[in-house]
Amino acid sequence: MRLDPALRVGGLLVALVASGFLAVHAAPDDGHVIGIWPVGVASAVLIEARRRWAPVLLAVVLGVAVGTIWLGGRPGDVAVGYGVGITLETAVVLAVLTRGRARSDGRPRLVSDADLGRYFAACAAAGGVAATTGALTSWVTGFGRPEAVALALGTAHLASQLTLLPFFMRLPRHGSVGGPLERVAQWSAILVITPLVFYPQDLPSMAFMVVPLLAWGALRIRPLEALAQMAALLFFAILMTTYGRGPFAAVPEVFALSPDARGVLLAAFASTCALIVVPLMIRVGQHIVTSREARSERDKVRSIVDGATGIAIIGADPQGLLTLVNPGAERLLGYRAEELLGRSTRVLHTMRSVVEKADELGTARDFDSVVREIVGAEHAGTHMRFLRKDGVERMHSMTLTRIVDERGDAIGYVSTSEDVTDQVEAQDRLHDALQAERDAVDRLREVDRAKDAFVSSVSHELRTPITSILGYLELLGDGSYGALEPAQARALQRVSDNSDRLLGLIDELLTLSRLSEDGLALSSRAFDLREVVQQGYDVVAPAWAHRRLDVSLDLPAEPVPFVGDREMLERAVVNLVGNAVKFTPEGGSVSVDLGVVDAGPDVPEGGEIRIDVRDTGMGIPQQEIQQLFSRFFRSSIAQQRAIPGSGLGLSITRAIVEKHGGVIDVESAVDHGTLFRVRMPVCA
């Protein structure tokens, strides 16, 4: 459990006072610096505290620095100069470490390479501030040579920040890789070898023999414990150097250097240790996190691969030797995984299937050429035959992918495939059935064309004799061949009526023949559509002259100009009005309306012409409306009530309307009547 922030800050301030006084007191009396003053602890005070307390704590740090340096024996003006430098240095470190970053627990991170870069930048900035303020203080006060003071203070404060800051930052959260015995061995080596190395005074290079111990710990144990080992080693180094032992203690006397040179070398050694331990510690943390994520992804992929029992997933190395066979591949291919691993992928394909695929792709007839051709997304889902263990070939829909490393070199292949033999066979059967159906449709069309040709030929042949018969019937009726008795006249009239009906049927058949063969050739003349509707209405008028029907015609007052075939449109009107009269019983009504509708939500741009023929007749069943315009179709009600008709009029009417760019709609209900609506574009 972590202490309350106020307690942590208070404890750090106490430690700062004590360690600061000891650092100055341990520095050589004839030197001009303050030893390795614990400026890293001063930075930790601000890191641990809340942001709003930073100005107050900076003032406290200034007071502690000035007080410990002055009480440690340095002149007052020097203490003030060094104290101001320490305070500025602490503020700079805090700004660099926390710039633009939200901290969930108040501590900056030291986990990634980016964090490491900020950490180094903060420490370097701290050393630069210390060197600059130290040189200025020396120049103003005359206390020592500015360049020597800058070097000594810069290295000492750099070492202090490098070694102490990590203890107050968020470190990688990973456990110890090494076991308990290994950790005991590490600590034993640190505690035993460090005093031995720092005991001789004439072998400075011996001090660096302990660096491999620190690297060993950074690679194998928890980050905080690795830092503790570094702190323990530096504690021995500073303690023994302070009391005149070790390779750095005698350097000033042996090499005739300033007393402060001992501190410079010790600080350089401490910085070296931190520069080795901290990056290694972070790299190990990243490696552990990456390895953990890689294992998680590997397990996830393995779970997916093993769970795909309906898909064959096969992996191979660059030489084509099988390295992965999932349960789906075992099921689809009939092999156990151990029977395939290490064998060539060629065992899964016959030479016949390879040649077949090569011919399809247009490449050389060998296995390697086919593999090179089908690798890639453009051939995803290509069909390839796979050979099962029992010797049966099955068609698979396969996708082959090349696996590459970060340099782009192929390190293997992965094939995913699904057995689609049944689907392919079903598609082939469906294709054959569709082809047979198309052939049958073509034959039916040929038969239909032959039928239409026959009907046209017969109709032409029948029209001449029927016309002749009607002529002679007219002569007989006029008494040209003698007077007729009443019974003979009635019989002659029935023959004439039936001949007229037959001639009308022949005309309709000839019109249909023209539609089927050459299309309906329409003349294009301008006329007033009101006259066409009126004439069609008048043609049918005799049909209701002696019936109890209410028949009405509504035409607009203004002309309705139109360009088209006047006779054909009149015929369409005759057909619609004639049907309405024919299928409306006594006492019913028929209305014929012509109008022009302006453009709107349901009307195309430019408007449209509408011809509505509405009756209150027998109506048409809903299920038969779709067949109403088919040739020779007659509704079931018309057949039940024995109403005569050929079933050709509406099909001819629709063809005429469509040839004029229009459509015809129907609304009907049994025993409630019918509405036929012709809609044609307005002529500009």
pLDDT along the chain (684 residues), means of 10: 72 88 81 85 86 86 91 89 93 84 65 91 94 93 91 92 91 84 87 77 65 86 90 84 73 70 85 91 83 76 74 87 88 89 90 89 88 83 89 89 82 87 86 84 70 56 64 67 74 69 63 56 79 90 85 91 88 88 89 86 78 90 80 69 67 85 89 90 76
Q: Quick one: three-class SS letters along 424-464?
A: HHHHHHHHHHHHHHHHHHHHHHHHHHHHHHHHHHHHHHHHH
DSSP code, position 307? H
pLDDT at position 269 is 87
pLDDT at position 514 is 61
pLDDT at position 651 is 80
pLDDT at position 2 is 55
pLDDT at position 454 is 56
Do 207 and 251 form a contact (C-beta atoms < 8 A)?
no
d(CA 59, CA 453): 113
For the chain, the 3-state helix, strand and coil shares in percent, each to the nearest 5, are 60, 15, 25
Q: Which residue shows structure tokens 């609506």?
A: 677
Sheet strands (E) in 204-321? 312-316
Do 165 and 40 form a contact (C-beta atoms < 8 A)?
yes
Both tokens assigned to 648: 């050709």
Both tokens assigned to 636: 């079931």
Sheet strands (E) in 466-567? 525-528, 550-554, 561-564
**97: amino acid identity, one letter:** L
- List, in order of start, the domains of the chain with CATH numbers: 1-170 (1.10.1760), 172-307 (no CATH), 308-419 (3.30.450.20), 426-516 (1.10.287.130), 520-681 (3.30.565.10)
Do 245 and 202 form a contact (C-beta atoms < 8 A)?
no
Confidence (pTM): 0.53
The length of the chain, given as a count of residues? 684
d(CA 331, CA 308): 11
CA 208 to chain centre: 56
- One-character DSSP codes across 581-627: HHTS-TT-EEEEEEEEE--BTTB-TT-EEEEEEEE-SS---GGGGGG
d(CA 655, CA 664): 10
pLDDT at position 1 is 46
pLDDT at position 50 is 74
pLDDT at position 403 is 84
The Cα-based distances of 559 to 65, 290, 451, 530 in angstroms read: 109, 87, 43, 7
Which among 131, 28, 30 is positioned nearest to 86, based on CA atoms?
131
d(CA 684, CA 676): 25
Q: Which residue shows structure tokens 């750095």?
A: 248
pLDDT at position 81 is 93
pLDDT at position 466 is 66
Q: Quick one: three-class SS letters along 316-356?
A: ECCCCEEEEECHHHHHHHCCCHHHHCCCEHHHHCCHHHHHH
